[in-house]
Amino acid sequence: MNGKKYDIINPATEKLSAIIYAADAEDVAIAVKAAKLAFPAWTESGALARVGYLFKLADALDKHADELDYLHVICMGKPIGNSSSSKRAKVPPIDHLYQEINLPKGMLNILSRIGQPYYEALAKYMDIPKLSFTGSQPTGCAINKAAADSNLKKVTLELGGKSPLIIFPDADLA
């Protein structure tokens, strides 16, 4: 990371909750390069091996649920147990879970940043063939324009919402 940081303030207490490194275009390039290098081995590992990592991750998430709830609460200021949503950029990294399950190096690259310049750097990066974003309309427009100006990558935008969900008819909402 470039060394720049930003503070995460608990809105309920107005106290510092965490300090997050702020990614820039150079960090995007490093992360994309790592992912590109890791991808061939990942695809050759076979579906069963990849599914195994998903099950390990699910177990790690269950094991660390209290810690993750706490981290979410101190960043969002909401009581544990209530439903909530947040942008990834505002939640403390949980990359230690991916290390715990021994996910191959380069398969997950977490970058934290808020603002259009960061997202535009992702959209302009030629080695990224597809980008998905949930957030504001102005940032979504900037991403779409940057993607069109680069390699015409596919872009999925969920603008104005916080939690895109697909709810099936058999969902128990009671």
Same domain, yes or no, for 104 and 141? no
Residue 76, pLDDT score: 62
**The one catalytic residue among 14, 100, 120, 158:** 158
Is 15 inside any structural domain? yes
Residues 33 and 50 in one domain: yes
**77 and 133: one domain?**
no
Residue 169 placed within a domain = no
Please give the chain's pLDDT, 174 residues, in tens: 566 788 888 777 788 887 877 788 888 888 889 989 999 999 999 999 999 999 998 999 889 888 887 777 776 655 544 333 333 444 445 667 878 888 888 888 777 766 667 788 888 888 888 888 888 888 889 899 999 998 888 999 988 766 656 678 887 776
**Would you state the pLDDT for residue 47?**
93
Sign of CA dihedral 90, 91, 95, 101: negative
Q: Are residues 98 and 27 in the same domain?
A: yes
Q: What's the structural domain count of the chain?
A: 2
Any domain includes 5: yes
Query: Same domain, yes or no, for 119 and 105?
Result: no
Q: Are residues 84 and 129 in the same domain?
A: no
The answer to whether residue 14 is catalytic is no
Structural domain boundaries, residue 97: 1-113
Residues 63 and 122 in one domain: no
Q: Tell me, what's the pLDDT at 82? A: 38
Q: Check: CB of residue 88 under 8 Å from CB of residue 163.
A: no
Same domain, 72 and 152: no
- The answer to the question of residue 22 being in a domain is yes
Q: Are residues 68 and 122 in the same domain?
A: no
**CATH number for the domain including 102?**
3.40.605.10
Whether 56 is in a domain gets the answer yes
In this structure, are 143 and 58 located in the same domain?
A: no
Contacts of 117-121 with CB under 8 Å at 24 or more apart are 117/24, 117/25, 118/22, 118/23, 118/24, 118/25, 118/28, 119/143, 119/146, 120/146, 121/24, 121/25, 121/28
Same domain flag for 119 and 104: no
Residue 46 pLDDT: 92
**Residue 171 is assigned to a structural domain of this protein:** no
Whether residues 103 and 124 share a domain: the answer is no
